Amino acid sequence: MSILLASILESPSPVKIFTADYITSAPSLKECPDFQGTPEMVLVGRSNVGKSSFINSMTQRKNLARTSNTPGKTRYINFYSIVYGKSGSDKLLFVDLPGYGYAKISKAEQEKWRQNLEAYLGKRASIRLVIQMIDGRHGPQNNDIQMHEWLQFHGRRVQVVLTKIDKLSKNEIAKSVAQTARLLDTTPEDVITYSAETHLGRDKAWQTLQSVLAAPALPFEPVAEEGNEDEGYLSPEAGDYGAFPEFGKPLQSAD
């Protein structure tokens, strides 16, 4: 086999996107439409980490999701419908969430968002994967670790993505991956490094989404109402993981 042919076979061609459309924004779980089981791929992470930019990069659209230098741009639970694949028969939803760790909103609003997102992430049956985004320059912060543990404890499949790696050297990327794997108790191979500027990591991210969709969904039990100790949600064993990250918590380094 020629070297050229071998390299073409090895590097997958970018996933073909047929349509990528904004569908709706829901203020809370109750207002989220029923998409008849269409799998939801949910973006979580601190404010300004690059969640909306990731959606634009993955869908090869410049302005599908609203991005901004000002943290706190994304409000509500935003649904984007994507039709992709060889023949355009595959469909998924990207769900863009407000970022946590943004201190400049009122206490009341922070608490409202914490409750809305906890309910959505804890109870929505059609979530197939939570894509947890972490700024590659800073590594996981305490609220990222808290979110990671909460998601895993509640039976969510989680894919960690390190963002903004175009701002890092190769050496810095390797260090950031190692630190992330250590703090989130995963392996470096399981961490995707991504740049929404250069689209580095896009093929790997799509491969991951496709293999998640090809695998059976994890068995899912919606979390019980907050504060209902009879349901086990706030049982003593759950204590360490029962706390959902606060929205306005000041950023702290975990390392």
Ligand X SMILES: Nc1nc2c(ncn2[C@@H]2O[C@H](COP(=O)(O)OP(=O)(O)OP(=O)(O)O)[C@@H](O)[C@H]2O)c(=O)[nH]1
Residues near Mg ion (CB under 5 A): 51-52, 73-74
Of residues 191 and 223, the one with the C-beta less far from ligand X: 191
**Lookup: tokens for 239:** 């204590």
* Binding at 167: pick from Mg ion, ligand X, none (beta carbon under 5-8 Å per type): ligand X
Taking the least distance from each CB to ligand X, the nearer of 74 and 179 is 74
The pair of three-digit structure tokens given for residue 136, joined into one six-digit string:
């590659």
In whole angstroms, the minimum distance from the beta carbon of 199 to Mg ion comes to: 18
Q: Which is nearer to ligand X, 159 or 163 (CB)?
A: 163
Kindly state the smallest distance separating residue 8's Cβ from Mg ion, in Å.
Answer: 35
Nearer to ligand X, 67 or 233 (CB): 67
User: Cα separations (Å) of 59 from 51, 55, 62, 199, 226?
Assistant: 13, 6, 9, 11, 35
Residue type, 79: F
Residues that bind ligand X (CB under 6 A): 45, 47-53, 67-69, 71-74, 98-99, 163-164, 166-167, 195-197
CA separation for the pair 166, 198 (Å, rounded): 7
CA-CA distance, 97 to 100, in Å (whole number)? Answer: 9
From the list ligand X, Mg ion, none, which binds 53 (C-beta under 5 to 8 Å, kind-based)?
Answer: ligand X
Looking at beta carbons, which residue is closest to ligand X?
99
How many residues are given for the chain? 255
Which residue, 102, 180, 99, is CA-closest to 137?
Answer: 180
